[in-house]
Amino acid sequence: MPRGPLDSSKIPRFAGPATFARLPRLDEVGRADVAVVGVPFDSGVSYRPGARFGPAAVREASRLLRPYHPALDLSPFETVQVADAGDIACNPFDIGEAVETIAASAAALDARLVTIGGDHTIALPLLRAAAERHGPVALLHFDAHLDTWDTYFGAAYTHGTPFRRAVEEGLLDTSALSHVGIRGPLYGKRDLEEDRRLGFGILTSSDVMRRGVDEVVDILRQRVGDRPLYISVDIDVLDPAHAPGTGTPEAGGLTSRELLEILRGLADRAIVGADVVEVAPAYDHAEITSVAAAHVAYDLVSLLALNTPRESP
C-alpha cells in the first residue's frame, strides 16, 4: 500500500515538513514509482536570475494540494508510491559540470521523475536520463520561447539552447516534437526556420486561443502517437497575469486553465517524465506563480501515475 501525504485533518497544511504535496521523502519509503525532485540551478539564465529558489517555493505552495484529482478521477498517491526525492545539488559555477551531475543523478533515481527547476538548462540532462532508459523520446515543450538557439555569448549550455543540443545528441524522436504557447518577438525569421529544420512543430498561444483546447489536444495526441513522451513546462508559457514570477515574461500567454486542460487531454499518452521550470519567486506576488507551478506539477504527477505499470499482486 503506497504511503501518502500527511493527513491535513490531523496536521494543518501550514505545519510539518515542506515536501511536495506533503508527501513522504524518498528515504522514508525506500523506493517510489514516481519521484518529485528539485534542481535548484539557474546559472544558465539570460535575463532575470532567481529560479534556483523555484523548487523550495513550489514545494511550499504545494501544501494546499489535496490527494484526489477529480478531473482525472484519480487518487495518484494511492495508485502508486509517490515521494519527494529532495534536490539534486550541482555546481552553480560550472554549467558543463552541472549538466553532467544532473544527468547522472536523474538516471540514478529508479523512478519516473517530475522535476522542479531551476532554469530550462536542466531539461537537457533530464532528457539524457530519459533517453538512456527509453531511447529517443517525443517532446511536448510548453514555453513562450523556442529554446532551440545555438549559443548565447558562445556558450553551448544555457536555458535557451537545451532542445537544439537534445536534437544534436539524438535524445529526441524528431518526428514527434512540438512547442506549445510560443509568442513574442524573436531575433529574426531565421529562428523559426532553424527550429523547423530541427523537426519542431509550433502551436502558438494565439493558436490555443483561436483553435481551442480540444483541437490543440487532438493535434498533439496525433503527433505524439504511442511514443514515449517527455513533457517540459516552462512556467512562462503562462501569461504574466498567471505567472509573474519568472525570468523572461512575455505578454499574451496561456491561462493556467488552458495549460492544465491541455495536459489532462494527454492522459492516455505514454508519458515517461516531465519538468516544470523557470519559477523565480523573487518576482512573484502572493505565490501566484508558485501555486500555478505546484498545480502543473501535481497534474504531471497524476499523468505519470496513470502511465506507471502496475506490479501483479
* Angstrom distance (rounded) from CA 252 to CA 247: 16
Asked if residue 7 is part of any domain, the answer here is no
229, 134 contact by CB (below 8 A): no
| Relative orientation angle of helices 256-264 and 213-224, to the nearest 10 degrees | 40
Is residue 7 part of an annotated ligand binding site?
no
94 is in an annotated binding site: no
77 pLDDT higher than 50:
yes
* Domain total of the chain: 1
Q: Kindly state the average pLDDT of the residues 223-251.
A: 98
- 61-85 mean pLDDT: 97
Q: Lowest-confidence range among 15-19, 141-145, 268-272?
A: 15-19
In a domain, 276, yes or no: yes
User: Within 10 A of 68 (CB to CB), how many other CB atoms are there?
Assistant: 11
pLDDT interval class at 244 (50, 70, 90): very high
On whether residue 3 sits in a domain, the answer given is no
Q: Is 120 annotated as a binding residue?
A: yes
218 CB neighbour count, 10 Å cutoff = 13
At 310 the pLDDT is 63
Has residue 137 been placed in a domain?
Answer: yes
- In this prediction, residue 309 carries a pLDDT of 75
Alpha-carbon gap, residue 31 to 203, rounded angstroms: 38
Q: Is 285 annotated as a binding residue?
A: no
Q: In 3D, which of 91, 85, 153 has the Cα closest to residue 122?
A: 91
The 10s digit of each residue's pLDDT in 282-298 is: 999 999 999 999 999 99
Any domain includes 1: no
CATH of the domain at 245: 3.40.800.10
**Is 0.95 topped by the overall pTM?**
yes
Distance, in Å, from the CA atom of 122 to the CA atom of 118, rounded to the nearest integer, reads 7
Say whether 236 counts as a known binding-site residue.
Answer: yes
* Confidence class for position 312, pLDDT limits 50, 70, 90: very low
The residue count of the chain comes to 313
Single out the residue of 6, 11, 1 nearest to residue 84, CA to CA: 6
pLDDT of residue 307: 87
Cross-strand pairs, 84: 25, 36
Cell of 247: 525570468
Q: How much of the chain, in percent, has pLDDT values that exceed 70?
A: 99
Phi (first) and psi of residue 108, to 5 degrees: -75, -20
Residue 2 lies in a domain: no
In this structure, are residues 301 and 252 in contact, taking their beta carbons and an 8 Å threshold?
A: no
Residue 282 is assigned to a structural domain of this protein: yes
The residue range of the domain holding 76 is 20-306
**Contact of 83 with 28, CB cutoff 8 Å:** yes
Q: 313 lies in a domain?
A: no
| 173 labelled binding-site residue | no
pLDDT one-digit tens code per residue, 254-267: 999 999 999 999 99
104: enclosing H helix or E strand: helix 95-108
